[in-house]
Chains A and B, each alone.
Chain A
Amino acid sequence: MIELLLLPPILRGLVAILAAGASFPLSGVMVLRLNLLPIRYTLMHGLILGGALSLVFSLPVLPTYVIASLAIVFLVLLIGRGRNLNLGISSSVLMVLAVAVASLLTSLSDVPSKDTLDMLWGSPFTIGKAELTAFLLLSACLFIYVVSFFRTISLIFFDRDVALSINRHIKLHEDVMVMLLALTVALSMRFVGALLIDALLIIPVICAYKVARSLKTLFIYSSLFGFLIAFLGYFASLYFDVPPSGAIAITSGVFYILIPKRKN
C-alpha cells in the first residue's frame, strides 16, 4: 500500500482528504448551530445544476461548482434574509428551481442525465494540483476564521438578538459562515460527492457533541474526528479497493456508533 502512496494522484488525494477532514467539520459546527441544514441541501442540489452547466458548456468542474454554490448562497440570502436567519423557504424554492434548470439543460442539450448524476459521487484520486491548492486554502481559511473570531462566533451561536445588541458585525459574520459553507460543499463534491458530504461535514460534529463540554472542545473534537475519519476511510478504500466516498462514509458511521456519550 505504501507504493500506492507514491503515486501522485493517490498522494494528492491523501493530502487533500486529510486537510478537508480536519477543517470541513469546522463548517459543520456552523451548519448545526446556525441551523443551516436547509441551505446545505439547496447547495447540494445546486451542485447538480453546476454539474449540468459544466457538462453542457464544457466548463472546468470545480470552478463551476464554486460559482454555482456562491450564486445560490447569494440568492438564498437575498431572498430569504429577514430579522432572523431563517432561510428555510428561500432555500426550498431555490433547491427545486436548481434541479429543474439542471433537468431542462441536460434535456435540451442531449447530455445524458446519468452523466450529471455520476458527478455527484466524486473521487479524491482525480484531484489536480490547482484543486489541491484550493482545498488547502479553504482549510486554512476555516481554521484562521474560527481561531480569529472564536468569541464572536460563540456569541452568534448563543443568541442572535444578544449578539446584535452588542453591535458587532453579526450579519457580515453570518454571511461569511454561509459563504464558507458554500465553498466547503462545492469542494466536498470532489471528494465524497453530494450524497455523502455529511460524512465529512456533519457526522464528525455529531460525534464531537457526544464528548465535548465547551464550544472550544466541540470545534477541536470535530476537527480531530474528521481527520481520523478521513485518514482511516481513505486507507480503508485503498486496502479494500473500494470507492473512497463510501469508505469514508462507512468509517464516519462506525465512529458515531463507537464513540460513547460522555456523562455530565
Chain B
Amino acid sequence: MYTDALSDGHTLELFQNDKMVFFSSGKWLHPLFQLENEFPWSEYSKDELYLHDSISGIAAATLTIRLGIRHVYVDLISEGALALYEMHGICVSYKAKTERIKCVTESMIDINASLDENYIKLRKKANLTSGLRLDVEHLSFSYDGKRKVLDDVSFVLNSGDTVILEGENGSGKSTLIKCILSLLKYDGKVLFDGSVGVKDTAYIKQHMDLSPYPLSCYEVVSMALGKKVGDEEIELSMRRTGCYELKDRNYFSLSGGEQEKVNIARALAGKARLLLLDEPTASLDKESKENFVSLVSSLAFSEMPTILLVSHDKLVNDNLSWPRFHIEGGRLD
C-alpha cells in the first residue's frame, strides 16, 4: 500500500495499485528527476500510479504535478506544496504538515509562474541541463579599425539559458554571432564553459548562399558528426524534429521550414550544447514560424541546451517569451 511507511533507505516509492514499480534512495529533488528520466512511463496508465514521497515542498510538488501523477502521499509536506497539489486537483494525503520546508529551492519557486517555467529553474538548479556556459567579455570588433561594429559587449549565458538577441538591421547581431564562433577576429574574450575555443556549438545561419547540388537531408544531419556516430543516432535526431520522412529528399528542394527542421536535427545529432541561431525564421511563412517556435520550445525543455537566438521577428519573439538582449549601434543594452 502506498501509504505504508517507506522501506529502509528509500526516500521515494511509486506503486501501480499495490505493487511497487519504482523506488529511489536519493536526496533532495533527485529522486523525482530520476523518476522522470528512468521510469517507463509509456507502459503505465498514470491514473493507476501512486507516489509516496518522504518530503514535499513546493519544488517537489511542481515536479510531481508535471509528471502527471494523480495520487500522492507525503510524510512531511509544506503548506505551499499542499496548496499547489490541491490547486491542480491532485489527490494528496500526508503524515505531517509544516509551514515551510527549509530548502533554498522553496524560495526559487514563483507559485504564480507556470509549471514549465518553474521546472526549468529547478532543472538548472539541479545541473540537469545539457547547455554550456557562455561568457562574452568586453568584445569589440571593427572591419576597418575605425568604426566599431561591436563596442565592448559583455554578457553571460548560464547553462540552459535561452535568450533572444534583437536589434535593427546593421546593429551588429550577426557580427556578434560570428565573433563568438571565431569566424571574425575580435578584441575581448569569449569563453565556452570557462575555456577559450569554440566547442559543442551548432550554428544555424539565415542565408546559406548555396547553389543547389545533390545533397540528401540525411547527409546534412550526418555531416556534423564523427565517423563513429551511427545511423540510429541520426534517425533519432531526425524523428525528434519531425524530418525523418525527408531523409532521402534533396535538401534544396525543401521549404524553408523543412530546412530548419533538418538544420536543428543536425544540431541535435551533433550533441550541440550551445545553439547559435541567426535569424532562422527570416524567410519562413507564418505556419513555418509557429512550427519553429514549437520545435525550439520543446528543445529548450527536453535537452535544455544554451540557446542564443538572433531574431527581430515579432511573432517568434512574442511566442517564445524568452529573456531578450537588445543590441543597438554595436552596444548591448
Which residues of A are at the interface with B, using a C-beta cutoff of 8 A? Answer: 32-33, 83, 151-152, 154-155, 157-159, 161-162, 164-167, 208-209, 212-218, 264
Contacts and interface: CB of A to CB of B under 8 A. Distances in A.
Interface string B4-19: 0000000000000000
A164 B183 contact: yes
A26 to B, nearest CB: 14
Interface in B200-226: 201-205, 208-210, 213-216, 218-220, 222-226
B197 interface: yes
Interface of B: 178, 181-184, 197-199, 201-205, 208-210, 213-216, 218-220, 222-227, 248, 250, 253, 270, 276
Given A161-B203, A213-B216, A167 B198 contact: yes
A165 B183 contact: yes
A164 B183 CA distance: 7
A208 B214 CA distance: 9
Nearest to B197: A167
Nearest to A152: B223
Given A151-B226, A164-B183, A165-B201, 10 more contacts: A32-B213, A151-B224, A154-B219, A157-B215, A161-B181, A165-B181, A167-B199, A209-B214, A214-B216, A264-B253
A155 B221 CA distance: 10
A155 B213 CA distance: 13
A215 B224 contact: no
Contact of B205 (A32, A155, A159, A217): A159
Q: Name which of A152, A154, A166 has the most chain B CB atoms within 10 A of its CB.
A: A166
B223 A264 contact: no
A157 B270 CA distance: 18
Contact of A213 (B178, B225, B248, B270): B248
A150 B233 CA distance: 18
A166 B215 contact: no
A161 B178 contact: yes
Contacts of A216: 216, 219
A209 B219 contact: no
Contact of B210 (A151, A154, A159, A165): A159
A231 B213 CA distance: 27
A179 B225 CA distance: 25
B124 to A, nearest CB: 25
Contact of A218 (B198, B209, B214, B270): B214
Contacts of A166: 201-203, 224, 270
Nearest to A161: B183
A202 to B, nearest CB: 14
Nearest to B181: A165
Nearest to A262: B214
A12 B28 CA distance: 76
A208 B213 CA distance: 11
Nearest to A208: B214
Contacts of B248: 213-214
Contacts of B220: 158
B213 A33 contact: yes
22 contacts: A151-B225, A151-B226, A151-B227, A154-B222, A154-B223, A157-B215, A158-B220, A159-B205, A161-B203, A162-B205, A164-B181, A166-B202, A166-B203, A167-B201, A212-B214, A214-B218, A215-B215, A215-B216, A215-B219, A216-B216, A264-B250, A264-B253
A157 to B, nearest CB: 8
A156 to B, nearest CB: 9
A214 B215 contact: yes
A150 to B, nearest CB: 8
A124 B208 CA distance: 42
Given A151-B225, A159-B205, A161-B178, A218 B213 contact: yes
A165 B215 contact: no
A214 B224 CA distance: 16
Given A165-B183, A165-B203, A159 B219 contact: no
A96 to B, nearest CB: 28
Contacts of A83: 183-184
A212 B216 CA distance: 10
